[in-house]
Each structure stands twice: as C-alpha cells, then as structure tokens.
A and B are shown apart, each in its own frame.
Chain A
Amino acid sequence: MAEELMEQLDNHTAFTIPIFGGIPVPDSCVVTWIIIAVLVLLSIIFTRNLKKVPTGSQCILETFMDFLDNFFTNILGKKGKKYVPILETFIIYIGFSNIIGVFGFVPPTKDINVTAALAGMAIILVQASFIIEKGPLKWLKSFLNPINLLDLVTRPLSLCMRLFGNVLGAFVVMELIKHCIPGGVPVIASGYFDLFDGLLQAYVFAFLTSLYMAEALEEEEK
C-alpha cells in the first residue's frame, strides 16, 4: 500500500507529443487544459445577454465579481486598479485547480513545477508593478536595503511551498482515508481538506501577492 501511495505522489506523463524527439506532457498539464476549457466555457455562458438590470445567473456573476473586486481594491488602493484582473485570474485558477480533486482528477497544483511557476509569476508581477509605478532607478535603489534582496528569494519560496505542501498534504490524507474507510466518510473529510483548504490557500496566495504589491505601490511621505 505504501508503494501505490508513493506511485501516486509522482507526476506521470499523460502522453508524448511526437515531434523533436518526443516532448513528454505531464498529467498536470492536461488537467490545466481541462480547467482552461471549463473556465472559458463558463465565461462564455455567464456573459451572454448581459442586461442593465441583472436577473438570474447574472446576479451570481455580479456578486462574485463584486466580492473579488472589492477585496483587491481595498488592499491595492486606487492606483492599483489595473492589476486587479490578473490577481483575480490567480485566485480563480488556483481555487479551481485545488478543488478539482473532488471531481476525480489529480490537482495540477500537486505538481511542484506548477506551484513554482505560479510563485515565479507572482514575484515577477510584484517587481514589474514596482518598476512601472516608480521607475527602474527607484527599483534598483530599493535593493540597497538587504532585506529587500532577501525577500526576492524567500517570498516566492514560501508562496510555492505553502501552496504545494497544503495541496500535497490534503491529497495524501484523502488517499489514506479513501483507502481505509471507503464508505461515506471521505465526503465529509473531503469537504474540509479539498474544498475549504483549497479555497483558503487560493485566497492566501492572492492576498499575499496583492499585499506585496501594495507595499511596492505605496506612496512615500515627503
């Protein structure tokens, strides 16, 4: 039983693209494509026939988007309005990919390459927002403070490891529960581990990224 658990913790190659001597496409990539397709489909369905006075599914859409917009605008302030869409994309993608364990797929964030890529994108976003708002000279000058230099390494590391560790831990515990008590108990446990923990980690990732950006964007008192 330990062997099959260890077997599941590795990432498998789903198929190999037969050009350039075979490019292996891992499982997490295929599931990400599925998530992309689902999200695009949902966006098309929900944004058809938008009316000025909302009814039905448009209400749900507006509530959801209002919640996300207010959440990020509270942290970033008025100057950060152009960065809100990418942060919303982060939270929707990570939220979806953590939850997709409920539907029987392997969550793509269980692969450390995915979380490392997401953390790398987040840090590049933070530094880019600093350069755009304050100019490249102030960005270089900010590195005279050695804590900023250290932050450049520790922040993406902690973002990556927090997300990876939480998703991996939830996955391992759910596999063990499903193996030992295969009745209706996994449903209750999945409610906490998969749903609550997955959404919380997506929220924490987006919140921390926006907090770092707010730090970079804040105005200095003269």
Chain B
Amino acid sequence: MGIIALGAAVAVLTGAGAGIGIGLATAKATESIARQPEAKGDIRTALLLGCALAEATAIYGFVIALLIILSLGSK
C-alpha cells in the first residue's frame, strides 16, 4: 500500500515541469506585449495555446497516478 502511494506521488511530479514551462511562456508573452502592444490579440492566442499544450504533460502524470491508485490500490 505504501509503495503504491509513493508511485502515484512520483507520477504527479510532472506537474513541476508544466509549472516552469507555463511560467516561462507567460514571462515572454508579457515582455512581448510590453514591447509591442498592437499585437496583443495574436500574442494572447499563442499564449493560450502554448499553456494548454504544456499543461498536457502534467495531465498525463495525473492520469497515470489515478490509474496506479485505482487499478493497483483496489487489489
């Protein structure tokens, strides 16, 4: 039981990568909006798309953790 919990916890650590990635993307986006405010709409679209894609890796980790808990924990 203990090692299942550890396994699930390690799987969710992928959230760290998503946090760093989205933070960097937002930093560059705000910088470029400050440099050229006319391109706000395009930059916002690109930022939203980039964030959704980067979030995907965190979601994969979450799904794996859920699968570990559900299929191994109930045995």
Residues of A within 8 A of B (CB): 6, 9, 158, 161-162, 164-166, 168-169, 172, 200-201, 203-204, 207
> Is B4 close to A, CB under 8 A?
no
Query: Are A166's CB and B59's CB within 8 A?
Result: yes
A-B contact count (CB 8 A): 35
> Is B70 close to A, CB under 8 A?
yes
Give the Cβ gap from A18 to chain B, nearest Cβ, in Å: 32
> Is B52 close to A, CB under 8 A?
yes
> Is B29 close to A, CB under 8 A?
no
Query: Are B49's CB and A161's CB within 8 A?
Result: no
Bound-state CA distance A201–B49 (Å) is: 10
Query: Are B48's CB and A200's CB within 8 A?
Result: yes
Bound-state CA distance A204–B49 (Å) is: 7
With A204-B49, A207-B49 in contact, is A6–B74 under 8 Å at CB?
yes
Across the interface, which residues of A come within 8 angstroms of B62, CB to CB?
A: 165, 169
Which residue of A has the minimal Cβ distance to B58?
A165
**Assuming A161-B59, A161-B63, A165-B62, what are 13 further A-B pairs, CB within 8 angstroms?**
A6-B74, A9-B70, A161-B60, A162-B56, A165-B59, A165-B60, A168-B63, A169-B59, A169-B62, A169-B63, A200-B52, A204-B49, A207-B49
CB within 8 Å of A: which B24-75 residues: 48-49, 52-53, 55-56, 59-60, 62-63, 66, 70, 74
Bound-state CA distance A9–B53 (Å) is: 24
Bound-state CA distance A114–B53 (Å) is: 20
Bound-state CA distance A173–B29 (Å) is: 29
Query: Are B56's CB and A158's CB within 8 A?
Result: yes
Query: Are B56's CB and A168's CB within 8 A?
Result: no
Choose among A9, A164, A169 the residue with the greatest number of B CB atoms under 10 Å from its CB: A169
Which residue of B has the minimal Cβ distance to A159?
B56
Query: Are A162's CB and B59's CB within 8 A?
Result: yes
Which residue of B has the minimal Cβ distance to A165?
B59
